[in-house]
């Protein structure tokens, strides 16, 4: 019997090594003064930032979901890395965590170095937007686990916060104003429903026109990252809610204490065209429980700070905090 190699089993070690070399410049572009060492060690090292009285380490992990299927089907890999970072760092800031560093996990049936490099370049771009360092990652080639063209992503973000700032529930009071920061699109939730509607029910194609451009352009628009807005306004923000799966209805209550309720004026929400289109085929309640509907991040602020926040962001008012059972009213 002839000897066989790892490559015969579907894993190309040389391709993996070449891939690591190819991504070094993208990874290094995210480094800040706190990164210790370079690429290639067994673990990434990051110095604890100074200036905190009682620093607390925060962590968040997420993926991109079946949005990846659209990237694979369209052979477009430049945006999903941004999505990966966004889903993690946007969660961190909701606990007043400043993102420090990020790690990724890329699993595939067959490593195509150029595709993987494009994905990692997107992750690096997400880290630059989120002002955190990409200090490590793992690339796993697993034939038999994934088909040749399929891959999956997972992301891990670590941040730091002041212990005294963690209890945002106690900051939320009756009479405060609810401000929406617009989303860039569907972001990275609900794509199983998106794919079923557009490609099974409506039999549309990736390149079909939607609002003057190919549909796939709208569907793959990367998730907006809100780190800079958080940093610029953190002293005036009482609470933040990242609007992901579950929409406003299920995410906003996560920052409300018992006895406080969010009163949202539905007509104030600047619903994006993609959601208006989908609403022709999906019940309104289902839309608001699945998608962000054009609102990517919600800020709760004192009334006296509203003008300042609006002048310093692209946010707009959608409601207020009232007394009542914890939850959301869309009126």
Mean pLDDT of 231-250: 97
- Taking Cα atoms as reference points, which of 294, 303, 290 lies closest to residue 238? 303
Does residue 80 have a pLDDT over 90?
A: yes
pLDDT in tens, 147-185: 877 999 999 999 999 999 999 999 999 999 999 999 999
Pinpoint the alpha helices (H) of 279-322: 284-290, 306-312
pLDDT in tens, 91-117: 999 999 999 999 999 999 989 989 999
Task: Give yes or no for a contact between 214 and 70, defined as CB atoms under 8 angstroms apart.
Answer: no
pLDDT score of 9: 59
Distance CA 222, CA 218 (A): 9
Mean pLDDT of 109-127: 94
Residues 6+ apart with CB under 8 A from 157: 59, 60, 61, 85, 88, 89, 91, 92, 99, 101, 102, 130, 132
pLDDT score of 14: 72
Distance CA 284, CA 266 (A): 11
CATH architecture of 169-330: Alpha-Beta Complex (3.90)
Residues 6+ apart with CB under 8 A from 86: 126, 129, 130, 187, 188, 222, 223, 224, 225
pLDDT score of 204: 97
Query: What percent of the chain clears pLDDT 90, i.e. is strictly above it?
Result: 85
CATH architecture of 13-165: 2-Layer Sandwich (3.30)
Does residue 198 have a pLDDT over 60?
A: yes
Read out DSSP for 216-232?
Answer: HHHHTPPPP--HHHHHH
pLDDT score of 185: 97
Mean pLDDT of 21-49: 87
pLDDT in tens, 200-230: 999 999 999 999 999 999 999 999 999 999 9
pLDDT score of 5: 63
Mean pLDDT over each residue of the chain, to the nearest integer: 94
Where in the sequence of the chain do the CATH 3.90.650.10 domains occur? 169-330
pLDDT score of 12: 67
Does residue 19 have a pLDDT over 90?
A: no
Distance CA 227, CA 99 (A): 8
Where in the sequence of the chain do the CATH 3.30.1330.10 domains occur? 13-165
Distance CA 115, CA 117 (A): 5
Does residue 24 have a pLDDT over 90?
A: no
């Amino acid at each position: 019997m002839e000897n066989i190699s790892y490559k015969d089993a579907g894993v190309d070690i040389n391709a993996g090594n070449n891939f690591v070399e190819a991504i070094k410049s993208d990874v290094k572009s995210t480094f800040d003064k706190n990164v210790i060492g370079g690429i290639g060690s067994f673990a990434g090292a990051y110095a604890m930032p100074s200036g905190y009285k009682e620093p607390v380490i925060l962590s968040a992990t997420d993926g991109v979901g079946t949005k990846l299927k659209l990237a694979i089907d369209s052979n477009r890999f430049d945006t999903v890395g941004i999505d990966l970072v966004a889903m993690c760092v946007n969660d961190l800031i909701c606990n007043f965590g400043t993102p420090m560093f990020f790690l990724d996990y890329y699993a595939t049936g067959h490593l195509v170095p150029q595709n993987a490099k494009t994905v990692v370049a997107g992750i690096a771009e997400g880290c630059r937007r989120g002002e955190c360092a990409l200090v490590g990652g793992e690339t796993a080639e697993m034939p038999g686990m994934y088909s040749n063209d399929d891959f999956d992503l997972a992301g891990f973000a670590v941040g730091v916060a002041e212990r005294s700032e963690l209890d945002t529930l106690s900051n939320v009071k009756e009479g405060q104003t609810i401000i929406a920061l617009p989303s860039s699109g569907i972001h990275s939730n609900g794509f199983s429903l998106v794919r079923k509607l557009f490609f099974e029910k409506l039999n549309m194609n990736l390149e079909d026109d939607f609002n003057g451009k190919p549909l796939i352009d709208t569907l793959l628009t990367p998730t907006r990252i809100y780190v800079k807005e958080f940093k610029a306004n953190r002293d005036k923000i009482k609470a933040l809610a990242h609007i992901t799966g579950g929409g406003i209805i299920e995410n906003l209550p996560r920052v409300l204490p018992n006895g406080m309720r969010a009163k949202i004026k539905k007509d104030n929400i600047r619903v994006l065209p993609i959601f208006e289109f989908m609403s022709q085929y999906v019940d309104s309640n289902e839309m608001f429980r699945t998608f962000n509907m054009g609102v990517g991040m919600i800020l709760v602020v004192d009334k006296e700070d509203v003008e300042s926040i609006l002048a310093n962001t692209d946010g707009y008012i959608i409601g207020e905090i009232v007394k009542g059972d914890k939850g959301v009213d869309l009126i």
